[in-house]
Amino acid sequence: MPVNCIRPTLLSALLFATLSACSAPEPEAVSGTEANYNVELDIAQLMSLVLEPASDMLWDSGGWVLDASGYEELYPTTDDGWAFVRAQAAIVVEAGNMLALPGRAEDDDAWMIYSEGLSEAGIMAMEAAEAQDKEAFFQAGGQLYSVCTACHQSYSPDIASRFDNSAD
């Protein structure tokens, strides 16, 4: 609420009228700030430029791969390595918020639940990275993956199949 009161003072007098909304607890007061969000990047851009690179980094840093020399552990091995994946997880947390912004959110229902789920999976990964807990980190990666697929299945069935193939 205090944010709504401050914003108009930062903007032109055009928005002055919204000052009167400060005393009113009506949710409409929030919609008055919609124009302040820059949602120029569309969902596809947000996915491919922000969310996917960060998530790939997480998935590439958990578990094991089998190569010529046997099983190779993918988890970070240094404090810096864990700090790096923790930062990628933070991007995922915030991507959940970006998806929920007015102008991006496709509805006020399941879309918001998936967006929130994305942030929650990101928090799990951040906590696991902070604790350098491999098992918890691996689980967070699995949770993250299931949120991606669930939302794609509901909102972009086409992407869902493409995405599943490319993730293999």
- Other CB atoms within a 10 A radius of the CB of residue 12 amount to 7
Name the minimum Å distance from CB 118 to ligand HEC: 5
Name the minimum Å distance from CB 114 to ligand HEC: 4
| Rounded Cα–Cα distance for residues 109 and 89 (Å) | 24
Name the minimum Å distance from CB 16 to ligand HEC: 35
| Rounded Cα–Cα distance for residues 113 and 154 (Å) | 12
- Between 29 and 150, name the residue whose CB sits nearer to ligand HEC: 150
Name the minimum Å distance from CB 26 to ligand HEC: 27
| Rounded Cα–Cα distance for residues 1 and 109 (Å) | 23
Residues that bind ligand HEC (CB under 6 A): 43-44, 47-48, 51-52, 55, 99, 111, 114-115, 118, 144, 147-148, 151-152, 155-156, 159, 163
Look at phi and psi of residue 132 and say left if phi exceeds 0, alpha if psi is from -120 to 50, else beta: left
Name the minimum Å distance from CB 111 to ligand HEC: 5
- Between 106 and 127, name the residue whose CB sits nearer to ligand HEC: 106
- Between 8 and 114, name the residue whose CB sits nearer to ligand HEC: 114
Decide: 62 and 138 in contact? Cβ < 8 Å. yes
Residues 6+ apart with CB under 8 A from 46: 95, 98, 99, 104
- Between 24 and 44, name the residue whose CB sits nearer to ligand HEC: 44
Tell me which amino acid residue 87 is.
A
- Between 21 and 58, name the residue whose CB sits nearer to ligand HEC: 58
